[in-house]
Each structure stands twice: as structure tokens, then as C-alpha cells.
Chains A and B, each alone.
Chain A
Amino acid sequence: MSMRSKIAAAAVAIGIAPLIVVLSPAGTASAHGYISSPPSRQANCAQGRVQNCGDIVWEPQSVEGPKGVKNCHGNSRFSVLSDESKGWPAASVGGTVNFNWVLTARHATSTWEYFIGGTRIAVFNDGGRQPGATVSHSVSLGGRTGRQKVLAVWNIADTANAFYACVDLQVGGAKLAAA
């Protein structure tokens, strides 16, 4: 039984469970979005391709942090996503990639940005609009080959925050290449 479960059990026992529900922020990480294909690191964790990822397996959509961060976990508590020793699988792709997003809340969006090694390779400006049912971006990798790590950033229009997803790619390579 986890500490959280113990607290909840104790709360029920003394009749304050509803107060816990109202006050506990940890139980209500709210939903947002991530890249499902090619699989982002959090998608690889949730899918089970990469093991021992921690709590991110329950909420791959919650990698949220302040705008302007340049790491795979957006300075969130899911730092495992920036752990380069995890052996992240790289999806085999061509020179142009369609990135598909899973969204669980359609926040008004300023931009979607894609970076490789600190260089912004693509930006899509939604001008504050709410995303549609599906979000897919076609991004040219600018002639890069071999193993590449793409950092995708979903910048929310009406908050200071963004959502982060890293996607490991093997460009022009064969099949799935291990790290």
C-alpha cells in the first residue's frame, strides 16, 4: 500500500475523505497532450517499450513546464525523460516526419515548436486558436541523417506554460534502432 493509499485509507476511517478529495493536488494532475507517433519518450514509457519510467506511465500527457525550457521533461517532476542512459528506442523515419499529438485538453495555442540540438527546425503558429480534433505537423529535418533527438514544444496561449515531448529518430536508417 502506497503512502498515498494509507493516507486515503486513514482519511476514510476518520471521515475526512471528502476534504482530502477537495484539497489534494497530487491526485488530480490535469490532462493535456504529447506526441504519440513517432513515439515520444513518454509514449514509449506509457506503451511499455521502455521500462521503469515511474509515474509518467499513468499520465504521459502531463509533461508541463514554464515556456522556454530546452529539456525533455520541461523541468517537470518527470526528469526520467531527460535521462539519456535510458536506452530510448529511435523510430526509423525519412527526411520529413509527420508528428501526431494526443490531446486531452484543447487549450488555446500560441505555437507548436520543434527543435534539434538547440536549433528550431519548425514552428506552427495557431494564433491563439483551440486545436482541432487531431493535430499533426509535417516537419522537414533539414537534411539531417542518423540518430536525432527532436524536442517538441506546445506553447499554450493563455498561460505561462508549455508541454514538452522528446522524440528519438533514426533518419534514413533501417527499422527501429536501439540507443
Chain B
Amino acid sequence: MNRHPLVLLLAGFLLLAGCGTAQPNAKADFNAADVMFLQMMLPLHDQGIELTGLAKERAVRPAVRDLATELDAVQRKESETMKGWLAEWGQPTAVDADPGAHQHHGGLHQTSPAEIAALESTPDAEFDTAFLNLMTGHLHNSVELTKSEVDGGGNAGAKELATSIRESRSKEISRLLGLVG
């Protein structure tokens, strides 16, 4: 079982970068873990925004639509912050634009275009349940991605964001489960 795709990916990145100890960049005060975290969280947020965008329009129950609207705003705001940091650090915003590009690492546990398309074509009567389950799984993956940054990040802002995502997404998962259960 591919237990540690992120770790393997990060390890590979560090090897490729030839910086086994990943000294923080004194000038901008960030390390390879920070960059990888932001580059991996950004596509997750893009997928999350697609899910919440659909639910804002299609969710049947007002409580589901309200939660989608809140999550949509939070993810957009965080994405702007993350893009800003990468630009400031002179780093690209993505390792690779193709969400499937890392399948050979065991996959990045993302929400695939096929899953988003499936939600899009879900009939209204089943939409809320499908959205709640997909979004919950998506947020679990977001929470999981924060761990490497909390443990190995070097930039105070990025680490703070990771901690905030971990805590706030866990609360939102609780709300999603309350709505689906």
C-alpha cells in the first residue's frame, strides 16, 4: 500500500535538488518542504473550488449550499496567499499542471477530473450526498497534506497556514459529516 506518496515525492525532490539537508534560504526564509507544500496544496484547492462551485449552484439543502459557499471563499483566499508566496520566492506555482502526473509515485490523492465530472452529472436527488462524500474525502486529503509542512516546513507563514488548514478543515469535515449522516 502506498502509505507515503508525499514523503517519497519530497525525498525525490530533495535528491533532485541536490540538497539533502535543505537549508532554509536565508534571503527569503523558506525551504523545499514549504515550496512542495504550496505547489501541492494549490491544485488541491483548485479541485476543491470546482467542487464547491458546483455545490453553490446545485445543492438542494440550504445548509449544504451555505457550507459550500463558505468553503469556496476560504479556499480562494488561501490560494491567493499561496500563489503570492511562491511568486515572492521566485518559484513556479505547480510541479506539473497534470493532476495525474504523479501517479507513478502512488498518486497524490487528489480529486480527479473524472470525479468532478461525475458529480456534475449527478441527478439533483442524489447531488447533496454525492457532494458531501466527495468533499469530505477531498478535505481529508488536504488535512493529510498539511502534516509534512507542519513537521518540515521552514517558513513561519506557510507553517501557520498549514496549521490553520488542518484545524479549520477538520471542523468543516465535522460539519459535512453532520449533514450527510
- A21–B162 alpha-carbon span in the complex (Å): 15
- Is B100 positioned at the interface, with any CB of A under 8 Å from its CB? no
Q: Knowing A18-B32, A36-B180, A47-B177, say if A101 contacts B133 (CB, 8 Å).
A: yes
B residues in contact with A100, CB < 8 Å? 129, 133, 180
Interface residues on A, range: 35 or more
Q: Knowing A18-B152, A21-B152, A102-B137, say if A46 contacts B174 (CB, 8 Å).
A: yes
Q: Which of A61, A107, A134, A156 has the largest number of chain B CB atoms within 10 A?
A: A134
Q: Which of A22, A37, A39 has the largest number of chain B CB atoms within 10 A?
A: A22
- A30–B4 alpha-carbon span in the complex (Å): 6
- Whole-angstrom distance between the Cβ of A76 and the nearest chain B Cβ: 13
- Is B151 positioned at the interface, with any CB of A under 8 Å from its CB? yes
Q: Knowing A102-B137, A104-B109, A133-B115, say if A18 contacts B181 (CB, 8 Å).
A: no
- Is B99 positioned at the interface, with any CB of A under 8 Å from its CB? no
A36 touches B181 (CB 8 A): yes
A25 touches B140 (CB 8 A): no
- Is B35 positioned at the interface, with any CB of A under 8 Å from its CB? no
- Is A127 positioned at the interface, with any CB of B under 8 Å from its CB? no
| Nearest CB in chain A to that of B6: its residue | A28
- Is B144 positioned at the interface, with any CB of A under 8 Å from its CB? yes
A58 touches B143 (CB 8 A): yes
A48 touches B174 (CB 8 A): yes
B21 touches A18 (CB 8 A): yes
- A101–B180 alpha-carbon span in the complex (Å): 11
B118 touches A134 (CB 8 A): yes
B109 touches A30 (CB 8 A): yes
Q: Mark contacts of B146-181 with chain A using CB atoms, 8 A cut-off: 1 yes-contact digit, 0 otherwise.
A: 011011101000000000000000100110011011
A21 touches B151 (CB 8 A): yes
> What secondary structure prevails in chain A residues at the interface with B?
mixed
A residues in contact with B140, CB < 8 Å? 31, 59-61, 102, 104
- A27–B148 alpha-carbon span in the complex (Å): 7
Q: Which of B143, B148, B151 has the largest number of chain A CB atoms within 10 A?
A: B151
Q: Knowing A15-B21, A134-B118, say if A22 contacts B1 (CB, 8 Å).
A: no
A30 touches B144 (CB 8 A): yes
- A39–B136 alpha-carbon span in the complex (Å): 13
A21 touches B133 (CB 8 A): no
- Is B132 positioned at the interface, with any CB of A under 8 Å from its CB? yes
- Is A122 positioned at the interface, with any CB of B under 8 Å from its CB? no
- A156–B134 alpha-carbon span in the complex (Å): 20
Q: Which of B10, B173, B177 has the largest number of chain A CB atoms within 10 A?
A: B177
- Is A105 positioned at the interface, with any CB of B under 8 Å from its CB? yes
- Whole-angstrom distance between the Cβ of A41 and the nearest chain B Cβ: 12
- A132–B132 alpha-carbon span in the complex (Å): 15
A residues in contact with B174, CB < 8 Å? 46-48
- A27–B3 alpha-carbon span in the complex (Å): 11
A residues in contact with B147, CB < 8 Å? 27-28
Q: Please list 23 pairs of residues, one from A and one from B, whose beta carbons are closer than 8 Å in the complex, sorted by A's number.
A: A8-B152, A17-B152, A18-B33, A21-B148, A27-B148, A30-B3, A30-B5, A36-B177, A36-B181, A39-B177, A57-B170, A58-B143, A59-B144, A61-B140, A102-B133, A102-B136, A102-B140, A103-B137, A104-B109, A133-B114, A133-B118, A133-B119, A134-B130
Task: Please give me the 9 A-B residue pairs with the lowest Cβ-Cβ distance, nearest first.
Answer: A21-B152, A133-B118, A39-B181, A47-B177, A133-B115, A18-B22, A30-B3, A104-B137, A27-B147
